[in-house]
């Protein structure tokens, strides 16, 4: 959908913030397009909470990161979402891990020069594919402006997922909220509301944003329902606050 339509639907659903992606809506090399997305965000009373980049923190992509940072500033986003390399933690060789750490550290420096935070997505096929590897990576990068996203790992039972979140909680800046089970079968968020009520409870008071990443069938018609479920999960942990 065009960015303005996405923003309108998000606002109509009662959402407050939006993460614009660099892949479709806000390409870093198109400042005019990025500026128009910023205008649409403002028009519908939303805030851009983050710039969803696809920077992979590899040596071949590092030269393009300053353009990503400039686009984030133009969007009014305080944070850039990145990817922690292109290899999972169990497969990455020591030299490859070192390269990813070095690239993230340099990206964090560039981000800081622009007044921005940096956060890798918690995702398979990267060095943030497990809680232990994510914690280690954050320690290795050792930058004050670097935190992490979180989402429930694929096919992970509720208690195991929550235990992982609890161990990372102080370092999480945002969660990608969706309900997949089993595998990547998309369910209504309400089908795992017990997981999300508990997850948002663990994060309550930490200033963490809950972002709807997927809806069943990619159907815009269910966005308002999914947003209401998310607010309900948050409301069960913080009375009177969405």
Q: How far apart are CA 17 and CA 211, in angstroms?
A: 8
Q: What was the pLDDT predicted at 170?
A: 95
Is the confidence at residue 217, as pLDDT, over 70?
A: yes
Res 181 pLDDT > 50: yes
What's the pLDDT score for residue 235? 86
Q: Which residues contact 172 (CB under 8 A, 6 or more apart)?
A: 147, 148, 149, 150, 165, 203, 206, 208
- pLDDT for 242: 35
Cα separation, 191 vs 200, in Å, equals: 16
**Distances from the Cα of 120 to the Cα of 108, 115, 152, angstroms:** 11, 17, 15
Q: Please, what sign has the CA dihedral across residues 84, 89, 95, 97?
A: positive
With contact defined as beta carbons under 8 Å apart, do 127 and 133 qualify?
Answer: yes
For the beta sheet containing 79-82, the strands, ordered from the edge strand earlier in sequence to the opposite edge, are 17-21, 47-52, 79-82, 117-120
Q: How confident is the model at residue 240 (pLDDT cuts 50, 70, 90)?
A: very low
Query: Does pLDDT of 197 surpass 80?
Result: yes
Q: Cα-flanking dihedrals φ and ψ of residue 154, to 5°?
A: -55, 130
CB-count burial class (<10 Å; 0-12, 13-18, 19+) for 37: buried
SS3 content of the chain, % helix, strand, coil (to 5): 50, 15, 40
pLDDT digits (tens, 9 = 90+) for 124-168: 999 999 999 999 999 999 999 999 999 999 999 999 999 999 999
pLDDT of 22 over the 80 cut: yes
pLDDT tens column, 84-108: 999 999 999 999 999 999 999 999 9
Average pLDDT for 171-196: 97
Question: What's the mean pLDDT when you consider all of the chain?
Answer: 95
- Residue 179: pLDDT band with limits 50, 70, 90: very high
Tokens of 148: 């992490």
Q: Is the pLDDT of residue 239 over 60?
A: no
Q: Which residues contact 94 (CB under 8 A, 6 or more apart)?
A: none
pLDDT at residue number 238: 43
Beta-carbon contacts of 76 under 8 Å, excluding residues fewer than 6 positions away, are: 38, 41, 42, 47, 48
pLDDT in tens, 30-76: 999 999 999 999 999 999 999 999 999 999 999 999 999 999 999 99
């Amino acid at each position: 959908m065009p960015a303005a339509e996405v923003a309108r639907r998000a606002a109509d659903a009662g959402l407050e913030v939006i993460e614009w992606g660099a892949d479709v809506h806000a390409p870093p090399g198109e400042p005019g397009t990025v500026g128009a997305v910023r205008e649409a965000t403002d028009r519908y009373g939303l805030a851009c909470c983050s710039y969803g980049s696809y920077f992979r923190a590899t040596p071949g992509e590092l030269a393009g990161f300053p353009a990503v940072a400039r686009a984030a500033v133009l969007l009014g986003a305080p944070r850039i979402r990145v990817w922690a390399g292109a290899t999972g933690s169990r497969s990455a060789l020591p030299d490859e891990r070192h390269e990813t750490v070095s690239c993230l550290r340099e990206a964090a420096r560039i981000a800081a020069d622009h007044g921005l935070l940096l956060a890798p997505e918690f995702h398979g096929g990267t060095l943030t594919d497990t809680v232990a590897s994510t914690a280690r990576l954050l320690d290795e990068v050792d930058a004050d402006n670097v935190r992490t996203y979180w989402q429930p790992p694929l096919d992970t039972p509720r208690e195991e997922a929550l235990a992982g979140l609890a161990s990372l909680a102080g370092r999480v800046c945002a969660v990608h909220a969706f309900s997949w089970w089993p595998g990547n079968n998309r369910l209504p968020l309400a089908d795992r509301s017990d997981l999300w009520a508990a997850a948002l409870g663990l994060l309550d008071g930490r200033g963490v944003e809950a972002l709807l990443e997927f809806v069943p069938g990619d159907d815009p018609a269910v966005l308002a329902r999914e947003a209401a479920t998310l607010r309900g999960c948050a409301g069960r942990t913080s009375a009177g606050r969405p």
